[in-house]
Amino acid sequence: MELLSGLPESIRHEQIDFLSSKTVRNVISNGTLKAEKIHDRQVIGENLETLLKRWLDEGDEQCAFYLGQIYFEKEKYNEAWNYFRMGYEKFNDQKSKFQLGIMLYDNLVSKDVTKVSNPQAKACEFFKEIMTLDVQIASPVDQRNLVFSAAFNLGRAYYQGYGVCSSTEDALRCFLFAANNGDSKACISAQTALGYLYSGPEICDLQKAFQWHSDACGNGSVESQGQCHIY
């Protein structure tokens, strides 16, 4: 059985906190939506699409990503792709770029739409580029989480050999980078992945395996909790 089978195939962009966006603050102030209902996805989709499109036409750059995210959650992937692509290519939005990588890696959109012959390879290229963004403490939390998520996804790709040549060494490098200090879902998944890798035959080090699983347990990893008793 594959060592990492208990972990997600890829980390997608974490659920967007719409309350932090200027667009939703505007909606609330105008009385269009009640603040306590803002996390209801159906309410968000029904009320925001028209407004987001209007604000996008008026030059609000963040709206391309939010529209893409709404369509992504509705599984209308062609529409999501078009808005994420606009967000990245027109406004250089890195969240949009990350979601393009996810859609390519998971084959959510046909090649006729993406015009990409090797979707997994292009996704890994995006993840590599996102990993070069600043992750210092002073950097925005969203950006740091994005970078660590990209690193986890790339580590998984190296381990499986999807989009890149299979390399346990490169997978280890990416997971070590993503593990950071366990301050996001991707970091915790990377800690668990390191626990699995160090318990495998290629780089067997049971002491390190136990340490990483212990760290992941401390950060709430259910997968690692099931492994700690083995050591």
**Contact partners, residue 230, CB within 8 Å, separation at least 6:** none
pLDDT at 19: 36
pTM: 0.81
Q: Which residues of 119-147 are buried (b: 16+ CB within 10 A; e: fewer)?
A: bbebbbbbbbebbeeebeeeeeebbbbbb
Q: What is the DSSP letter of 36?
A: G
Main-chain dihedrals φ then ψ at residue 33, nearest 5 degrees: -130, 145
pLDDT at 17: 47
What does each of the 231 residues of the chain score in pLDDT, given as a tens digit? 455 655 656 656 554 444 345 555 555 565 544 555 555 555 554 667 887 888 899 888 888 998 998 888 889 999 999 999 999 999 999 999 999 999 999 999 999 999 999 999 999 999 999 999 988 776 777 888 889 999 999 999 999 999 999 999 999 999 999 997 656 788 888 999 998 899 888 888 888 988 888 888 888 877 776 666 565
**Contact partners, residue 175, CB within 8 Å, separation at least 6:** 151, 152, 155, 190, 193, 194, 197
- Angle at the Cα of 173 from the Cα atoms of 226 and 88, rounded to 5 degrees: 100
Burial class (CB in 10 A: 0-12, 13-18, 19+), 56: buried
